[in-house]
Copies of this chain bind each other. A is one copy, B any other.
Amino acid sequence: MARTLTLAAIQFSPSDDVQDNITRVAGFIREAAAKGADVILPPELFCGHYFCKTQEEEHFARAMEWQDHPAVRQYSELAAELGVVIPVSIYEKDGPLYFNSIVIIDADGALLGVYRKSHIPDGPGYQEKFYFRPGDTGFRTWSTLKGRIGVGICWDQWFPEAARAMALMGADALLYPTAIGAEPQDAGLDTAARWRRAMQGHAVSNVIPVVAANRVGDEGGQVFYGTSFITDETGEIVGDLGRQEEGVLVASFDLDKIDQARAAWGFFRDRRTDLYEILI
């Protein structure tokens, strides 16, 4: 029997009300499941506005322990009901430590664990180093009931090292929840095209499908550009969304066919690990 994996991205415009967001994203999860999705990815930190625009002490109160987060608890039940895998992006508190994290919920509702964003950006409009300790979990892949997935978080998506690491760990697909849009220091700077190119490159170099789920909407002057997409294992975009619409993207992949193509391409056969010391 062919191993098929159906991936979905949710593009979403959050309010700043946690339960409202959880409820509305649940609607999109149901829509994606109805379209046959096995793994359904909401955007980064979808439970509220993107608070990292400025440095405000009060925003630390948004963080919670990952097992207790209402999105995790509610989506655990939803995942079991629908039989789908849901990577849930949250602001995580672990004692005095704060992380930008993803909790992986398996298709039976089991909580498989947490990955903490490894690469933390910092720039005008994206003050993440104030809020998040660089992740201490290392890159992870998750053997779900539907397939083995690797999930990076936003800034991770620009780093070929993260994609390669997850591919080396056996990922069948790479997923990136995201919050990206306008650059306040330069109104003319639109990074959408290069954002796609970076991840299309990961798809090619690792012969692996890639999913990117971004937010949309204007959050107090900061506009997020959507353009969520799914690529196949050649980096070709097989589905995408616009810059303003909310919605769901779904695409199916034959994992056995991709495994065979990955082997025949020989990238993993021919890597020169003896020459890569400079990378670390």
Which A residues contact B (CB, under 8 angstroms)?
Answer: 118-123, 134, 138-139, 155, 158-161, 163-165, 168-169, 193-194, 197-205, 234-236, 264, 266-267, 270-273, 275-280
Cβ–Cβ < 8 Å partners of A203 in chain B: 197
CA distance A159 to B272 in the complex (A): 10
Contact check: which of B193, B200, B201, B270 meets A155 at CB < 8 Å?
A: B270
Whole-angstrom distance between the Cβ of A2 and the nearest chain B Cβ: 20
Copy total for this chain: 2
Whether A278 lies near B168 (C-beta < 8 A) is yes
Q: What separation, in Å, do the CA atoms of A273 and B118 have in the docked complex? A: 10
A272's nearest neighbour on chain B, judged by CB, is B118
Specify which of B122, B123, B164, B205 is in contact with A279 (CB 8 Å cutoff). B164
Q: List 20 A-B contacts (CB under 8 A).
A: A123-B264, A138-B275, A158-B267, A159-B270, A160-B205, A161-B275, A164-B279, A165-B275, A165-B278, A165-B279, A194-B234, A194-B236, A197-B197, A199-B201, A201-B204, A201-B235, A273-B279, A276-B279, A277-B280, A279-B280
A169: chain B residues at CB < 8 Å are: 278
**Contact residues in B for A264 (Cβ distance below 8 Å):** 123
